[in-house]
Structure 1
Amino acid sequence: MADVRWIYDLTIFLYAASVLFYFNDFLQSNRKANRLAFGLLAVVWALQSVFFVSQMVTKSYFPVVTLFETLFFYSWVLVSLSLAIHYFFRIDLLVFFTNIIGFVVLVMSMFLPVTPMPEVSNILTSELLLTHVTLAMFSYGAFSLSMIFSAVYLFLHRMLKGRKWTPLLRRLPSLGQLESYAYRMNMIGVPMLLLSIVLGIIWGRMVLPPEKFLFDAKVVLSLLVLATYSFWLYQRYRDTLQMNKLAILNLLAFALLLINFFSTNSSTFHSWW
């Protein structure tokens, strides 16, 4: 780890610089700052990828087992999605908001142990479990983008309703586009989370006593998160709620997701993270 620690530290430094340049572009619509921010973000993605691969080689497993590894992978997913948003949608402000979350997640990983705990055995690093965690992280990435689209939707809706016209509004998609993007992200996130939970249940039934697994707080919360997002999709399909209420429900669903993500202390078998 010491040999590649400088990559991790450099990544955080460059990521911070990228977020600052995006913030400058957010305030002043500075195209030069925007180009610098995107260039730094691309370098951050490359460094994260190199660091991730080096960890994979060193540890001989897909490194998404410990909480440090999952947070780092979650940050990498958000950076990857940011690059995709820039390439396909050209919505710079949403790239900025996405990378605020990604940077915070990466900084949080600094305060966690890097080396896997002794309890992490071969059974914990099985392909089934690693696929479960990887799918969960990708679904969290999709839900993160959906949350950002909904938050921007509520902001834009309030500004338009109050007839507050600013240059910032011209840089945002329409209300219909924002709602559609949030819907698409949830359409991606829900099946991935469902698959992740199914794989987690299969793994749990294989290696854990039923009474320890079925009543675990994190299992219950994960099912609640899935139910909440599924209810959101149902309401969106039925078109029974106003779009701004759907956006608020989406924010509440993401808050529940965060509670679930950081509820490892209440779990009887996720505590090895």
Structure 2
Amino acid sequence: MTENFLARMQEGMVLLYAFSLISFYIDFLLHNRKAKKIAFWLLYVVWLLQTILVIDFYIRTGRLPLLSLEQGLYFYSWLLITFTIFVTRIWKIEFIAFFTNLLGFIIVVIYTFAPFQWQETAVSGQLISELLFIHIFLSILAYVVFSLSCTFSLLYLIQYQLLKKKKWRKRLMRLNDLMMLEKFASILIVVGLPIFTIGIILGLQWAFLKIPTLQILDAKIIGSFLIIIIYSVIVYLKLRKDIAGKKLAYYNISAFLVVLINFFLFGNFSSFHF
């Protein structure tokens, strides 16, 4: 595909994504099933276009879009849509598509209209290996799982407030019960933690092999281990039943904020990452 055609496809996808979010928002406010149906159809089209772009990138380069920050963000948004569609269709959880795709839409807009001008470093360009790809893939997969877990916690807090204030009865009926929302958030934390930990271990192994000047106190490494520690503490407290319900939701959302800070901020201070 030509570069101009790909750019037009990307811009069209952003518009469809925007209309999908608007439709989800109408459904959220007005309990409009027709708007919900339109929103999902548009989301399927967006997912299809993103999939085409990912496949085209793989055909042109022989690899997945992972080795620069903007590519990683794009692959993250594609995985987020994929998992959102799967979760929504399998477990029939209301409103998760709206909240997760709001995040995905922001990422796609950043990628499309304000792309980072950072080029891949000589290290990442010359020392591509399967170990590096597995590290990046597992890390992004963990980010998606943590994103979904955070969304369930947000829905938990919304449901909690609705029950407390006894408002929005129609919307209250469409949200799942608090126990189920807490359960899914907890399960995703438990799943995401080992995925992220394995990804970091593999990344360190690659770095030790390929980067002689690697600083173990690099900001990105410290941030990654901080994430592992925070989520490990949450899992430990959850198993001990020291935290649950609203407290667990706040802990989970705070932990995801650390994930975002590590991804967007700490990478700028890293001597080698991206």
Shorter-chain TM-score range: over 0.9
* One of 183, 186, 204 as aligned partner of 1:183: 186
TM-score by length of 2: 0.93
- Measure how far apart 1:6 and its partner are: 2.1
| 1:170 and 2:173 matched | yes
Alignment length (residue pairs): 269
Distance 2:211 2:268 in 1: 18
Give the percent of matched residue pairs that are identical in Structure 1 and Structure 2. 35
Distance 1:228 1:115 in 2: 30
How do residues 241-260 of structure 1 correspond to structure 2 at under 5 angstroms? 241-260=243-262
Q: String of CA shifts for 1:235-257, please: whole Å, max 9, x gaps.
A: 11110124211111101100000
- Residue in structure 1 matched with residue 134 of structure 2 by the alignment: 131
Distance 1:219 1:7 in 2: 36
Distance 1:163 1:92 in 2: 19
**Which amino acid counterpart does residue 108 of structure 1 have in structure 2?**
I
Paired residues of 1:147 and 1:182 also in contact (CA < 8 A): yes
- Measure how far apart 1:113 and its partner are: 4.2
**Which amino acid counterpart does residue 228 of structure 1 have in structure 2?**
I
- Measure how far apart 1:121 and its partner are: 1.6
TM-score by length of 1: 0.93
For residue 205 of structure 1, give the secondary structure of its aligned residue in structure 2: helix
Distance 1:163 1:61 in 2: 52
Question: Unmatched 5+ residue regions in structure 2?
Answer: none
- Residue in structure 1 matched with residue 151 of structure 2 by the alignment: 148
- Measure how far apart 1:208 and its partner are: 1.7
Distance 2:227 2:141 in 1: 15
For residue 92 of structure 1, give the secondary structure of its aligned residue in structure 2: coil
Distance 2:30 2:164 in 1: 24
- Measure how far apart 1:2 and its partner are: 3.3
Distance 2:22 2:249 in 1: 28
| 1:237 and 2:239 matched | yes
* One of 212, 215, 221 as aligned partner of 1:213: 215
Q: String of CA shifts for 1:2-59, please: whole Å, max 9, x gaps.
A: 3422221221111111111111111111111111110111111111010011111212
* One of 101, 113, 119 as aligned partner of 1:99: 101
For residue 2 of structure 1, give the secondary structure of its aligned residue in structure 2: helix
| 1:122 and 2:126 matched | yes
Distance 1:261 1:52 in 2: 21
Distance 2:187 2:149 in 1: 8
Q: String of CA shifts for 1:135-192, please: whole Å, max 9, x gaps.
A: 1111111100110111111222233233435221111000000000101111221111
- Residue in structure 1 matched with residue 230 of structure 2 by the alignment: 228
- Residue in structure 2 matched with residue 109 of structure 1 by the alignment: 111
CA shift in 2, pair 1:255/1:50, >3 Å: same
* One of 37, 58, 66 as aligned partner of 1:56: 58
**Which amino acid counterpart does residue 192 of structure 1 have in structure 2?**
I
Paired residues of 1:205 and 1:213 also in contact (CA < 8 A): no
Distance 2:46 2:141 in 1: 19
- Residue in structure 1 matched with residue 40 of structure 2 by the alignment: 38
CA shift in 2, pair 1:225/1:6, >3 Å: same
Distance 1:231 1:254 in 2: 14
CA shift in 2, pair 1:14/1:159, >3 Å: same
Calculate the aligned-residue CA RMSD, in Å. 1.6
Paired residues of 2:24 and 2:39 also in contact (CA < 8 A): yes
